[in-house]
Every structure is written in C-alpha cells, then in structure tokens.
Amino acid sequence: MLERPKQAEHGDYACNVALQLAKALKRPPREIAAQLVAALPASPHLEKAEAAGAGFINFFLKRSFKQQVVHRILDAGTRYGTGMRGQGKKAQVEFVSANPTGPLHVGHGRGAAYGASLANVLAASGFDVTREFYVNDFGRQMDILALSTWLRYLELNGVTVPFPANGYQGEYVRSMAAAIRAEHGARFRHDAGVFMPALDETDEELRLDAMIETAKHTLGGDYDTIHRFALDVQLSDCRDDLAEFGVTFDAWCSERSLYETGRVERALRRLEERGHVYDQDGAKWFRSSRYGDEKDRVVRRENGLYTYFASDIAYHLDKFERGFDIAIDVWGADHHGYIARVKGALAALGLDPQRLTIALVQFAVLYRGGERVSMSTRAGEFVTLRELRKEVGNDAARFFYVLRKSDQHLDFDLDLAKSQSTDNPVYYVQYAHARVCSVLEQWGGDASALARADVTDLVSEREAALLARLLEYPDAVENAARDFAPHLVAFYLRELAAEFHGYYNATRLLVEEERVKLARLALAIAVRQVLRNGLALLGVSAPDRM
C-alpha cells in the first residue's frame, strides 16, 4: 500500500504541480487546472493517483498532454529534433585530438564515433556546429616519430643504430622510411657514429631525448623535412581513415600554428597581465590552484620550452575568440585530471568556464572469442581503427561505439559486431528499415496517395504505441543534445525498431480496405523516416534491402 502524503494535503501538491506545469508549458494555470479536473475522472489510475499524491497527477498529465498532440506524428518523421535547444548558438565540438604519430586505434575510434554523433545531435537540435580536429603536431611525440622514421631510414641504407624500445615500432614507420628513401635516396644517410654520445645515456627516456637532439643537430634543415613528411603522411592517413568512417571535420587546428602565429605567447601574456602567472625555479607557473586545481601548473619550463598546457590555454582562448558560444572537448578519460586547469585558465582569462564542456570518453576494450585483445601504440601491436572497420564494418563499429554511455567502459565484442544475426543490434534496426522498404515495394502504389492517409484510421493499441514512440523522437534527440549523450539515440532506435517489428508481426499492412492500408503505410513510412534520420545522426547507413 502506498502511503498518503504526510505533511500536506493532496490539494496543496496538486495546486503546486499545476502551477509548475503551467510555467513549464507556458500556459495559464487556470487552463492546466481545468485539464487536471477533466483528465482525472477518466483515469483508471485515479485511485492510485490519489494514493500516490500529486506526482502521479503530474506524470499522468504530461502523458495525456502528449496524446493530444499525436496528430503531429506523421510529419515528425521528417523532422530532426525540434531545433529549440540550440537556438542557433555556435557550438564547437573538438574530438580525436591526437598525436599524428601512427594509425588511429580503437580508442580513437570511440572518440571519433562519439564526437561525430554528438556533433550531429547538436546540429539536429539547432546548434550551429563546427567539428574540429586538434592536431598535436608540436611536441616530443612528433619528434620521436621523426627520429624513429630516420632510424628506419638509416637501417634501409645499411646503417644500424639500436632502435629504442620507446620509439615507434610500427610497420608504418618502415613504410615511411622506404618512401623517403625512394624520393631522396641516400641524402639523409649519416654514420652510426653520430649517435655515440647519445647512446651512452642509461636512462631510457633521456637517451631518447639525446637521440632526438642528435638527429636535429646532424640533419639540420633535413630534420624538418623528415618531420614534416612523417606528419603529412600520418595526418592524411588519419583523415582518410576517419572519412571512410563517416567522420569529417570542418576545421583542423594545428598546435604548431598556435606558436607560429604568436597566440601562445599572447594568451600567456594576457594571463600574466591579470596576475595569474609567477616565476619559480626558473619556470613560469599558472596559478591554477586559485581556480580549484590541486596545484599550480607549469606553462613554460626551465628550459624555455612551453608545455602542452600552454598551447592548450591559447587554443581554448582562441575558440571563444572565434565566437563559439559553447565548446565541447572530447577527451580520453585518462585526461580527467586536466579539466580543472583548463577551466581554471578560462576563468583566469575572464571567460565563463561553464561554456566549456569536457566530455570524457572511457576506454574501449576489444574482445575476440571471449578474450581481451591487448593494444599498445608504441609496441605497434595495437588494433587499429582501420582493422576494426574492416573486420566488423563501419555501420557496426559506429553503432557499437555509441551503444554505451560515453563515460562507461566499453567492452567491444568483435564476434557480436560481426555476426549478421539476431543478437546484433545494428542489423536489428537496419532490418526494420529494410522491411518497410520491402513492403512499400510490394505495395507498388503512388506515394502521393499517402497524403490521404488519416491517422484516425490507426486504432489498435500497437498503432497507438508506435505513434507514441515516434513522437518521442524529437525528445530523444533533444535529450541526447542536452546530456551530450548520443547513446540515447541508439537506444531510442532500438526501441522504435522493436515496436515496429512487433507491430509488423501482429498486423498485416497491405490489407484490402484502402483507408486502413494507406494509414498503415503512412505509419510505416513515418517509422522508416525516423529510423533513417536517427541512423544518419549516428553515421550508420539505412539500407533498403539487406
């Protein structure tokens, strides 16, 4: 038995709810109250409503309110959300910010799928979205790649230098070396002896740094040639990979360019002018602890080089100077400790940190045959996004990636994603779409006839449920935009597909009676349209036949 409210009578709550609803729906409270009165006697749940108090009435009213607008259904299929949430605000989604030091792996894939779907969902909700890739082409990792490439190149030219364990070991490095050799011959060949002092260093990381220095000194201007070549190859490979994955960008921002255009120095100067930077131990520190960070952070090292954080400050300042109302960064979850300092920097620069949202994406772990597939970029044994796409297909990959809340660990079951069977949710949704296409083909009528379809001919409980489900689509998209959670769209699509499959199995669409047939076909077409729209948001195809 449900208990009656203790401290107040129902009436008080009902009034309160009516007022809140009136506010939310922007309707006169008197009208809402009238609806309450009208709705309640008809409710089979009246007894429970009384027992449960006003909250139930609230729920019931929302529901009945929705049913009143069910006639919007048939055109709901042609809409992408309501477009109300974004209201034309400019939003930037930055994702797959990566060191272009090798092929994208499955972890990047999740960020790409998530970021792309999120951007689509935001666009569908009325935001003016810019999709941006931040290229980390400045730091040590790129130097390590350039060094690794040169070492492989030397190998090809008969010069053997012990390859560092912490260098990039992948096969693609050898390919780049071969390409350089094909183009430049032995121009970059130097004697192994140049590495002698560097190799004496016992600490692995220091030795690597020393080897990089050796490469820079020995090669001079040629170092930049190799560096740039490796960057170009990796970046275009990355771009092609993502494009094949249905992930494209409106802008590519180079970290290096932030230095070359003086934006890093300008951002730091601005911080300094506002009194947020101090010198200590020969380095420059940003006083991020003032803004809730655990400690202050170095922006310029003792050796005069800027940290990654420094360019990131400049980058985030730049985002808002470019006029974005909101910015969303998609990061790997291992970077969460970095959030406080970036938001702190924005606050210190006089910008509202609330305008920046960091969406953390947890790791994706691949399973094959029930066994965890290991990966590590440096060792070159990773499973690349390309391999994954080839194995399970783009559709399954895109769908599986967003089938989990982004901050949830993702166990990616390769066998399941590959299976063209009943347990694969991608096929389940696509199958519903193909089914509608198939029915329409068999019908063979003129689509314009469907304009005569009348929703009131849809009378069964299943049809009502299907209509209600269709009506939820704009909400699903808006909610996905609100929570930065495209998985809500994936879940919605699965539910819609299930609703349709059930309807289809229970009800014959191509019946004799013309009115009923048209109404049912119109409903099926609405379902197809919503499936198409939703799948498009997720970057998944909607095949006519499978």
Please, what is the Cα angle at 483 between 482 and 485, to 5 degrees?
120
Would you say 229 or 428 has its CB closer to RNA? 428
Closest to RNA by CB, 154 vs 359, is: 359
Tell me how far apart the alpha carbons of residues 198 and 215 are, in angstroms, rounded to a whole number: 10
Smallest gap from residue 192 Cβ to RNA (A): 27
Residue 262: Cβ-neighbour burial (10 angstroms; 0-12, 13-18, 19+): exposed
- Rounded to the nearest whole angstrom, what is the least distance from the CB of residue 156 to RNA in the complex? 28
The answer to whether the Cα torsion of 466, 471, 472, 473 is positive or negative is positive
Q: Which is nearer to RNA, 218 or 438 (CB)?
A: 438
Residue 32 C-beta: closest distance to RNA, Å: 15
Contacts of residue 339, Cβ cutoff 8 Å, sequence gap at least 6: 358
As measured in angstroms, the least distance from the Cβ of 56 to RNA is 5
| In the complex, minimum distance from the CB of residue 80 to RNA, in angstroms, rounded to a whole number | 18
Q: Shortest Cβ distance from residue 399 to RNA (Å)?
A: 12
Beta-sheet strand order (sheet of 364-368): 371-373, 364-368, 410-413
Question: Which amino acid is residue 138, in one-letter code?
Answer: F
* Cα–Cα distance measured from residue 85 to residue 119, given in angstroms and rounded to the nearest whole number: 14
Among 471, 459, 521, smallest CA distance to 496 is for 471
At closest approach, how far in Å is the CB of 217 from RNA? Answer: 20
Residue with token string 């991020």: 288
Residue closer to RNA by CB (options 14, 154) is 14
Which element (helix H / strand E) includes 368? Answer: strand 364-368
- The whole-angstrom separation of Cα 341 and Cα 538 is 32
Quick one: 184 or 532, whose CB is closer to RNA? 532
Q: Which is nearer to RNA, 320 or 427 (CB)?
A: 427
Contact 109, 401 (CB under 8 A): yes
Please state the closest distance from residue 91 (CB atom) to RNA, in A: 17
R_g (Cα) of the chain, nearest Å: 29
Q: How far is it, in rounded angstroms, from Cα 153 to Cα 387?
A: 26
Q: Distance between CA 451 and CA 481 in Å, rounded?
A: 32
Q: How far is the CB of 178 from RNA (least distance, A)?
A: 26
Q: Say how far apart CA 432 and CA 439 lie, in whole Å.
A: 11
Cβ 258 to RNA shortest distance, Å: 12
**Host H or E run for residue 272:** helix 263-273
Q: How far apart are CA 163 and CA 151, in angstroms?
A: 7
Quick one: 274 or 409, whose CB is closer to RNA? 409
Neighbours of 450 (CB within 10 A): 20
